[in-house]
Each structure stands twice: as structure tokens, then as C-alpha cells.
Amino acid sequence: MKTVMIVDDASTVRMFHKMLVTSPDRIIEEAENGVEALEKAIGTNVDLFLVDVNMPKMDGYRLCKEIRLNEALRAVPIIMISTESANQDAERAYQCGANYYMTKPVDADTLKSVVSAVIGGEANE
Amino acid sequence: MSELLDVFIGESRENLESASQELLEIQSSGPASERVDKIFRDLHTIKGSSDLFDIKPLTRLAHAAEDLLDSVRSNEVTYSDDIGDLLLEALDQISIWFDELEVGSQNVEQWKPISTQLSAQLRHFIDPTASSEVDESSATVNNESPIADPQTLSEEHIALIVNFGRNADLDLLCKATGPDCYFIQYTPDEGCFFRGEDPINVTVALPGIKAFNIEMPELGEDADIYNCFTSIKALGVAGEDEIKQHMAYYEGQYSCVSFSTQALKAACTGKIQKCVETIDDETLNSALNDTDIEQVHASAGLLLASLNFDDSEDGSANRAVLSLLSSIDDLSFLNNEIREDGCSGKDTNMNTSPEVGNSSANEAGDSKREASKPKNLALHERAMLTQQLALLNSDNYKSEFMFPSIAGLVGNILGAEFENEDALAVAISNALDEETIQAQANDDQAQQTSNDATAETTQPANTQPAKALETTEDTAAPVKAERQAVKMLKVDQSKIDYLMDIVGELTVAKNSLPYLAKQAEEEGGSRKLSKQIKAHFSIVNRLTESLQSAVLQIRMVPVSHVFQRYPRLVRDLARKLDKKIELCMQGEDTEFDKNLIESLSEPLIHLLRNSIDHGIESPAERLAAGKPEVGRIDLIATPLDDSVIIEIRDDGKGIDPQKIKLLAFQKGVISETQLENLDDNEALQLIFAAGFSTSEQVSDLSGRGVGMDAVKTMVSQAGGTIEMQSEVGVGSTFKLLLPQTMSVNRVMMFEVNDQMFGVGMDAVVETVKVPTADIQRIRNEHVLVIREKLIPLCDLREALGFEAAEEREEHSILVVSTPQGEFGLIIDKFHEGIDVIQKPLEGVLAGYAHFSGTALLGDGRVLLIINVQEVLAKCL
Amino acid sequence: MPITYKKKVAVMTGHCEIEEAEALFAWLNEETSRQVNLKALGSAHTAVYQVLLAKKPKVSVWPEADALYWLTEMMQNKQSKVWFE
């Protein structure tokens, strides 16, 4: 079983992304912001983070940094999904430790494929 | 899907509610920044979520409101009641739309004009001079900015292109000679001729133009031929900037959509695949599967010539596809799309699944295997792999933090495990196109050589941790596909520590060899043997020193390891205190022994906290003092021989010597005479005195209200020194000088109360044994006269807290030299001098100022090395 | 003169400016059988092209100039759209 953690402050978006990547051999975890994400992730086995940028309490950039600083979570790939499309925003994401950067609105097929590429398995239709 | 919609509506209604509430509050009590921020976030969420459902008018309206609020919260636009009213109107409108969405009675077409108008009104507040964004005359085309995500072409854009021509997408792709494409709709004003404009010629001259369409209505005989009746559409291959420049004079009469050739390729893929399936020619299919470009060209060309194409949609599409295939140079975007069984988009590459299971068993052979097997990658996999390689090659790459996730991600895509960056990079390069990697490597190479050039001039010794012992000029060791000569090893820290310990013991152990040599000569009577031992000792000595040095180098770590925590610390503390402070760091590459680096961090944190707490003033005070509102703290690390100078400088209010003197007097640290006589400089140094603290309340930020005396102790424990300079109103500077490595020290051993201690040899002047009678008492102190010098004495037994010894006839005295002069330490017994590697105190012992470190003796005993200054301070 | 009006053919030469448009338009309107000779035409103002494209008169000689390939395509094939090679 692979675990994907979806971090976004909008429940609609979380639900949407969850719909796209869900499958019988995956567990989908959700968090509203960076703080919650860390709380939930530490101590569990997360295989992929899907992280939004703009969130209260702790934004996506900071969450990335925290994940990389944390020995237990360091090896987990992070895909950042953001509304911002400028080059600097992607740059910043990479400097904070993200592995990949996608802009919203995310193409459904692309997200499915990307997640499958990272953790294996196929999403349900 | 409707479940999602329900969630969306539910969540968005909450956002609307909250936004309206805040708006009402603002209207009554003013635009507080938290409120504006809250509304901004609410609208941002609504905008983002609505985008998922493709309800453009709603998204557009939310976007306009969001932008307006953004301008308000960044103070570019001043809030006014008019703005508030308009925002409320927008919120109400959105709410109405939600009602419709909920029952399914929405008519999105009707929403468009409302959305357009309200959006324009909202945006007008942002920029009253800007003309309306939507060009009403071109009803079908939006003035979109270039597509954010270069991977996809939006439905609208595809529609535009297909509108131009049934297979315009394929035809354009055929001719796409560059990375950017455009579609222009150009509708000149009727009266443009009178302005001297010549639209058709402008169109024909468009950069990279590949096709255009001129609409001309029927003209009656009495038509005024000096009016312009044409309406033009054009497709071409050029960048957006070029087009904008070309069409500069005609703004307002045209709209342009830019998109990437990549996106076009992706958009055409489906059509191409469908047509190829329909055509169903074996040669063509196998040529595509093998990615054999020449074969594809050949068979497509043949089919083009031999088949009959009717004018139906399919027929013309087939012809267009074949035409494309017969000339296209790059087929990579089609990879994996053409399958005999017709399933598209999925990467059913047989190599992946079995790999994933077996990968753990194949560690050593992996990098080799990857090198020989080119894998067919989907578009997104290529993009991700390319990105991982870029991350590996970036200047900011930090192995410790990034390697695990990159290796894991790539491992899942390629189905292998990777030991190090090298194997990883090679594998990625092999999986991707060779050309792209070459280009990127060349760019990075060019950049790296210039980086190296600057790095060389500032840092003398600059090796990264966990790097195999090589002396390459390549200091930052970026990973390149071609440069396989640079090998990196990931090593467990504890192994290095263990290695260090052994080296330390070896250093001590070798020291007995000269003694043994002497024994061999004196007692064994063998001069020859003695000479041989001495000779070999010389070799062993040299080797040991090299080994020591090498291992120490492995443990060197850039100070950025500790420094990187500080910006966040500074930000958080500053924010808590409502101060604005900027931390500027320099010299983060300066290296430090890994074990010593933590001992460096503590004093630094305290100094930083002090600066933030007491040094930098509040923004208001700073402005009143004519300083910039944002305070500045500089943290600079500079290597100096085998030490490092760390400077913490702030531009705060400085330390007032008068205040210090007064407080010191009050606390009894100085006498009244001193109060009068100490000059400013001496007064400032008082802050380092024991038991001194100027902060009246224990600020919860500085924790225990740590005073500078504690900081000084920490620094001297680490074997360093600290200096301070300050000017009232200008700021303070602290300079720490710390040894960079745990170097070998020559230490003199001695015994007190049956315990072994050491003292740094460079402090020792001489050792004397004197009869007790010679020790004199002057007032409360014991002194000794040596060669007419008066040497104050310090009984180490007492100083170290042992019981007094019995009466003795003579005393052993270690005379040491300090900046304050010479002193004598009364000890029990002398022992020999030895070379040791001094370790700083850890754990419980760290609090004892008397000791500056420990060393491991060859027999496993621990030697405590005394800190002369501290001990004397306690004594006298 | 950029446009020389013969009995049944208007011969267009070199560059035809906007001023030529009105006369050409009127001339073509008078008789539908009138033709244009574009052999030596180099370029023209949009207004002139407008006339040619709107009226689509018979062409006695097509332009030699490569740059006017599109004009030939449009007039000859009654197309409003042209693709370049």
C-alpha cells in the first residue's frame, strides 16, 4: 500500500485531487496546512506529498523545507501544485526541496500519470 | 462529480459568508490588514476551486476581486467605501450563481456579460488608466496571456486553431520551426487607412508567419473603398514578444494567443494516433514503434502519394497526419502512444514492473544495467527525470537533504536503486535524450567554471563532507553525466567518529616510541636498536599526522549547516517582538569541524537573541532615530589560518558604557573607584564579567536570560575568544575567534589528587619543585619568587574542589603564562608532555568552565584539560 | 503610373498606393468583363488588395513576384486562406 498525502487548504481541491489519484492499493491522507501535514506525517509512512503553496499557518515552501530537514521524512518525494506560474515560483519551490512543480489547474491525466510514475500503480477511473 | 460540486459549493459558501462578514466589519471599523487578508484568502480559494469546474465567468469575477484585494492589502490601492460596496455586489452575484449551480439551473452564457462588467469595474480600481481588458470587437477570442503550463493547450485555444482550419493544428505543427507559436486575430478599424495603416502588409510581414486568412465581405458598387473591411487571422511560429513588437502600433485592434510547440504536439497526439490507427499500415506502425524517423518519413511519404484522400473530416485528417509524419524531425512526443492494442497514454513498458520487485536484489549491477537499456518514457516521466537531473546539478544542491527523495523518485520511474549521485545521474541521462543532457551540461559547465573561479579566490581549503579523499579542483562536486571521475560516498557519521577516535589514540600511542627507544639504549644496551626505533618512529609520526589531518578534513562541514537555522529564528523572534529585522549572512561556506560546529552554535544563538531583544530598536524608534525601519544583523564567517572569525554585527542602539558601569557597580562587580576611573572601552568589557546581566526582566526569548559571561565561557570552552565593540546609537559588533578543527595539541600532563590533568603546553613556562618554606604569603595570597619575579600561586587542589593535601616538604609548581602575567599552579606531580587531540566537553561536563576539553589516553583513560584562565580566575 | 488602364485590361506595375484603389474599384465596377494584369505587380496597399479580393476580377497574367503567392492562391482558388511553404 502506498500513501499519498494531499496538502491544500481548500477542501474542494483536496477532494478533486483525491478523486484523481485514488486507487485500491493507495491510502490517501489529507491535511489543511503544513502544520497538520507534519503532524500527520511524522510517525506514518508517506510515499508522496502533493503540496499546495498558499496555505495558512505554514505554507508549501516552508513545509518542503521542514520535510527535508526531518530525517524520517526526507526521502519522500514532494510535488508542489501551485497557482503561481512564474519561473521564480518554481525556482523557489525547488530551492525549498520540491522534486516537481505543477501549476493549477492541474490537467487531470497529467496528475494521474505523474503520481503513478512516482509511486507506481494506477489510479482508478 | 456532483459530489465534488456539492463540496465545492458548500466550502465556497462558507468562504463567501466569511468574506462578507469581514467586509461588513471593514465598513464599520476600517480596513484592518487581517480582515483584508482574510477576504483575499477567501476569494483566492473560491477562484482556485471554481477553476476545477471550468466556470469561467465565476473564476474571472473572483479573480478580479482577488486582485483588487491584493492591491488593497499591499497598500497600492486605498480602500474606500466604493470599493467595499462593489465587492459586496460581487459577492452577492457569486452567491446568486451558487444558487443556480446548486439546483442546476445555471446559464453560464448569461453570466458572461455580468462577469465581464463587474470584473472591469473591480479592476478599474486597481488601474483607472488601463483600457478595458476584453476586446469586445473580437467576440470569440480572449486576450489570454501565454499559457502557464507549457504542457497543455486549453480547449479554447484548440478551438481557435481548428476554427482556422480543420487540420490547422497538424499543418502548423508540420511547419513549426521554433518553440513558440501564435494565433492572431486582427480586426483593423474601419478608418485605419486614414491613420496610415496597411493591415494586409503588416500581416504578411509577421515574424514566422505560416498561414493567414483574410475575410472580405461583398462590396457594393458604392462602397467607400477607403474604409478597411478586412478581418484577418494568422498562424505562425514566433515568440510572443516578437509579435507584440511587430504589432505595437496596432494595439486594440488585435488579440494574440501564444502557445508552445510542445503544447501543440501534445494536443495533436490524439489525432495523430487516431489517424495512424485508421490508416493501419504495418510498415508505418512498426516504424513509429521503433522510433525510426527515416522509416517513418519514408512510409508516410509513400502512403501520402499512393492513397486516395477524400474530403471528409477523416480523409483530410489522414492526409494532414501523413504529411506531418513525412517531414517531422522529432517523434519523441509520440512515444508510447502508438500501440498495437490501441491503448494510449499508459506506459506499459515491460521493463518497469518486474524491476520494481527485484531492484533490492540488484545493487551493484544496477548502474551498469541502466546504462545499456534505453527506456521508453512518457512525456511527464521525461519532464520529471529532467527536473531531477536539474536539481542534482543545481548550485543549491545539498546531498544530505535531497538525495533520498530524488533517488527514490527516479528509482520508481526507472525501476532501480541508486547508491550515489553519480549512478543516478548516469541512469537519468541514459534514459533521456542524449542531446538535451549535453546542452544542459554545457551550460552548467560554463557556469560552474565561473563559480569555481570565484570560489577559489575566497576559500583556501574547501572540501565537502563525505567526499572521497581526492584533491580535485572541483570544489563543489556537481554531478555531471560525463564527469564520472568524481566519486561521492555516503558515509555514516558514526563511522567517521570511530575513525577519529582511533586516530586520536594512535596519536597518543605513537608517543611512547621515543621513550622505548631510550630504554632500549640505556637498559638494553642496544644503540643500533634504539636508532632503528627512532627512525621508524619518525615515519610513523609523519604518517599519523597525515592520517589525522585527512580524517579531520573529512569532518569539515560548512557553517551553513548551523547558519541556515538562523534566518527563521531571526524572523520568528523579530515578529514576536514586532520588530523588523533582516539577517544577512556571509561566508557560509567556511568550514568547521563537525563536532565543534555545535559548540559554535550556542553562543551565536545567544548573541543573535541579544541583538534582536536588546540591540535592534522597534521600527518606530528606528525611524525616529533616522535609521531605516528594518534593522540589520550581519553574520559573517571568515577563515583565518586554522581558525575562523565569526562576526555578529547589528545596527541597533548599541551598548551604553555608562549604564554598564552603573549596573556593574550596583551589582558589586566593580568598586566605586573603578566606577570613576574605567574608561568607556573597559566599561563595555564588563558585560563579560561573571554574574552580570543588563536585562531587567528575563525575556522569555532569551530563555534563561543568558548573560554575556555565559557566552564568553562557551566560547572559551570551545577554545576561542570573544571581543566586543559598540557605539551608542550606532550598533554593536561581536567578534568570535574559534579554532576550526580539533587540532593536535601538545599538552603537559600532571597529577592532582591521583587524577590526571592536562594543560596546553604553549601556556607552560616552566616546572619547578620548591621547598614549602620558599612559598610566602602576601596578604591572603601565596606567592613565590623566582628569579626576582613575583609569581602568584594557585592551589589546584583547592581550585578543582579536592580536599587539601597533607603537609608536604616541597611543592610542585607549574608556572604558566597568561595575558595577565605569570602564575604558578600548585599540583601534586608532574608528568610528561604528550600530543593529544582535544575534544570539547559534552553533556554534563560542558557546564564546567575549568576545563576546556578532554583527550583520550592510549590506555583508555580520559584526560581533563584545564582551562588556565578560568581556573586562575576562580583561584585568585 | 502604377496602373495603366487599357481598353479591357488594367496593367498594374510596381507598388500601388492607396490612391489607386478608388479608380481601380470604379473601373472594375463599370464592366464585369474587365481584367487585370498582375505580371509586374510588386506590392500594393491594403486598400488595393481589398479591391482585388472583393471583386475577384479575371486575371490575364498572374504575378511573377514570389511575395504575392498568397494573392494568387486567394484569387485563383477563391480561397480566403493561404498556407506558406
Dump pLDDT digits (tens) for B161-180. 877 877 788 888 888 888 88
Would residue B779 be called left, alpha or beta, if left means φ above 0 and alpha means ψ between -120 and 50 degrees? left
- Local structure of B216: helix, strand or coil: coil
Verify whether the Cβ–Cβ distance B211 to C47 is below 8 Å. no
Q: Does B205 touch chain C (CB under 8 A)?
A: no
Instruction: Identify the pLDDT of residue B486.
Output: 53
Output DSSP code: residue B849.
Answer: T
Instruction: Kindly list the residues from chain B whose CB atom is less than 8 angstroms away from the CB atom of residue A75.
Output: 404-405, 407-408
Cβ–Cβ under 8 Å, residues A87 and A120: no
Most confident of B284-298, B356-370, B731-745, C46-60: C46-60
Option in B165, B199, B225 nearest C21 (CB): B225
Amino acid at B104: G
Confidence of residue B343 (pLDDT cuts 50, 70, 90): very low
pLDDT at B320: 83
pLDDT digits (tens, 9 = 90+) for B622-648: 988 889 889 999 999 988 777 888 999
Residue B219: the pLDDT is: 81
Confidence check: pLDDT of B521 > 60: yes
Distance, CA of B794 to CA of B364 (rounded, Å): 64
Contacts with A85 from chain B: Cβ below 8 Å: 148-149
**CB contact at 8 A, B816 and B739:** no
Mark yes or no for CB contact C46/B193 under 8 Å: yes
How many Å lie between the alpha carbon of B843 and the closest alpha carbon of chain A? 23
Residue B195 CB coordination number (10 Å): 12
- What does residue B491 show for φ and ψ, rounded to 5 degrees? -125, 140
Size (chain A), residues: 125
In this predicted structure, the answer to whether residue A50 has a pLDDT above a threshold of 90 is yes
- Give one DSSP letter per residue of B432-469, joined into a string: S-HHHHHHHHHHHHHHHHHHHHHHHHH-SS-PPTTB-S
The identity of residue B235, as a single letter, is L
Residue B157: closest CA among B182, B134, B177: B182
**B820-828 mean pLDDT:** 87
Cβ-count burial B88-124 (b if 16+ within 10 Å, e if not) = eebbebbeebbeebeeeebeeeebeeebbebbeebbe
Q: Give the distance from residue C68's alpha carbon to the nearest chain B alpha carbon, in angstroms.
A: 10
Query: B234 Cβ partners below 8 Å, 6+ apart?
Result: B182, B183, B184, B186, B203, B206, B209, B211, B212, B213
Mean pLDDT of B827-831: 89
Q: Does residue B184 or residue B556 have the better pLDDT?
A: B184
State which residue of chain C sits closest to B230, comparing Cα positions: C50
pLDDT band at B466 (very low <50, low <70, confident <90, very high): very low
Please, what's the b/e burial string for B258-287 (b: 16 or more CB within 10 A of its CB; e: otherwise)? bbbbbbbbbbbbebbbbbbeebebeebbeb
Q: How does residue B692 score in pLDDT terms, banded at 50, 70 and 90?
A: low
SS3 B385: helix
State the Cα–Cα distance between residues B724 and B596, nearest whole angstrom.
22
| Phi, psi for residue B348 in degrees, rounded to 5 | -100, 35
Q: Which sign does the torsion angle of CA B371, B347, B321, B340 carry? A: positive
Given a cut of 70, is residue B336 above it in pLDDT?
Answer: no
pLDDT at residue C11 in the model = 92
Q: Comparing B572 with B458, which gets the higher pLDDT? A: B572
Cα–Cα distances in angstroms (integers) from residue B594 to residues B118, B600, B853, in the given order: 61, 10, 16
In whole angstroms, what is the distance from residue B167 CA to residue A23 CA? 37
The partner residues of B634 in beta bridges, in order of sequence, read B584, B649
pTM for this predicted structure = 0.34
Contact C54 B204 (CB under 8 A): no
Residue B111: per-residue pLDDT? 86
User: Which of C18, C54, C81 lies at the smallest CB-CB distance from B211?
Assistant: C81
CA distances from B571 to B134, B564, B714, B721, C1 (A): 43, 12, 25, 28, 78
Spatial separation of the C-alpha atoms in residues B74 and B580, rounded to whole Å = 17
Does the pLDDT value for residue B372 go beyond 50?
no
The predicted-structure confidence for B256-288, as pLDDT tens digits, reads as follows 888 888 888 888 887 888 888 888 888 888 888
At B467 the pLDDT is 36
Going by C-beta distance under 8 Å and a sequence separation of 6 or more, which residues neighbour residue B357?
Answer: none
- pLDDT greater than 50 at residue B146: no
pLDDT exceeds 60 at position B478: no
B51–A104: do the CB atoms touch at under 8 Å? yes
CB B850 within 8 A of CB B867: yes
Confidence of residue B702 (pLDDT cuts 50, 70, 90): very low
Average pLDDT, rounded, for chain B: 77
**Residue B412 near chain A (CB below 8 Å):** yes
Q: Please tell me the least confidently modeled range out of A93-97, A109-113, B191-195, B340-344.
A: B340-344
Contacts of the segment B267-271: beta carbons below 8 A, 24+ positions apart: B267/B152, B267/B153, B267/B158, B267/B169, B268/B169, B268/B170, B268/B173, B268/B324, B269/B333, B269/B334, B269/B337, B270/B344, B271/B167, B271/B169, B271/B170, B271/B317, B271/B321
Distance (Å) from the alpha carbon of A32 to chain B's nearest alpha carbon: 12
Range with the largest mean pLDDT of B300-314, B451-465, B804-818: B804-818
Rounded to the nearest angstrom, the minimum Cα separation between C79 and chain B is: 9
- pLDDT confidence of residue A28: 93
Contact B509, B547 (CB under 8 A): no
Q: Which chains pack against C, by 3+ Cβ pairs within 8 A?
A: B
| Cell numbers for B261 | 510547440
Q: Residue B209 is nearest to which of C51, C55, C84, comparing CB atoms?
A: C84
Q: In the sheet that B810-818 helps form, which strands lie side by side, from edge to edge? A: B764-771, B810-818, B821-827, B789-795, B781-786, B776-778
Provide the shortest C-alpha distance from residue B253 to chain C (in Å): 16
At residue B553, does pLDDT exceed 90? Answer: no
Query: Are B64 and B118 in contact, with CB atoms under 8 Å apart?
Result: yes
Nearest to B180 by CA among B130, B235, B114: B235
Tell me what the mean pLDDT of segment B231-236 comes to. Answer: 90
In the beta sheet, which residues pair with residue B581? B631
> What's the whole-number average pLDDT of chain A?
87
User: Crossing angle of helices A60-69/A34-41, nearest 10°?
Assistant: 30
Average pLDDT over residues B557-565: 80
Work out the minimum CA distance from B392 to partner chain A, whole angstroms. 10
B7 with A11: Cβ contact below 8 A: yes
Is B446's pLDDT higher than 90? Answer: no
- Amino acid identity at B116: T
C-beta atoms of A75 and B388 within 8 A: no
Give pLDDT tens digits for B383-411.
888 888 888 888 778 888 899 999 989 98
Instruction: Give B-chain residues touching C20 at CB under 8 angstroms.
Output: none
Q: Which residues in chain B have their CB less than 8 angstroms from residue C29's CB?
A: 221
Tell me the average pLDDT across A105-109: 80
User: What pLDDT digit, counting tens, does each position of B830-857 carry?
Assistant: 888 877 777 777 666 666 778 888 887 7
pLDDT-derived band at B504 (thresholds 50, 70, 90) equals confident
- The answer to whether the Cβ–Cβ distance between B226 and C67 falls below 8 Å is no
* Closest Cβ–Cβ partner in B164, B225, B228 for C51: B225
Kind of pairing between the strands at B789-795 and B643-650: unpaired
C-alpha cell recorded at residue C66:
514570389
Q: What is the mean pLDDT of residues B431-459?
A: 48
Residue in chain B lying closest to A108 (CA): B52
ipTM for this prediction: 0.94
Grouping H, G, I as helix, E, B as strand and the rest as coil, residue B32 is coil
A69 to chain B, closest Cα gap in Å: 7
CA distance C73 to B276: 30
The answer to whether B224 contacts chain C (CB < 8 Å) is: no
If pLDDT is split at 50, 70 and 90, which confidence band does B525 have? confident
- Is the pLDDT confidence value at B669 over 90? no
All chains having 3 or more CB pairs closer than 8 angstroms to chain B: A, C
B interface test, pick of C46, C78, C80 with most B CB neighbours within 10 Å: C46
Q: Indicate if the pLDDT at residue A16 is higher than 70.
A: yes
Residue of B313, B269, B277, B51 whose CA lies nearest to B158: B269
Instruction: Give B342 or B852, the one with higher predicted confidence.
Output: B852
pLDDT at B465: 36
Q: Which pLDDT value is given to residue C48?
A: 92
Which one has a higher pLDDT value, B663 or B36?
A: B36
Vertex B32: Cα angle to B27 and B38 (nearest 5): 90
CA B135/CA B139 separation, integer angstroms = 7
pLDDT of B701 higher than 50: no
* pLDDT for B872: 84
Share of chain B above pLDDT 70, in %: 82
What does the pLDDT read at residue B691?
59
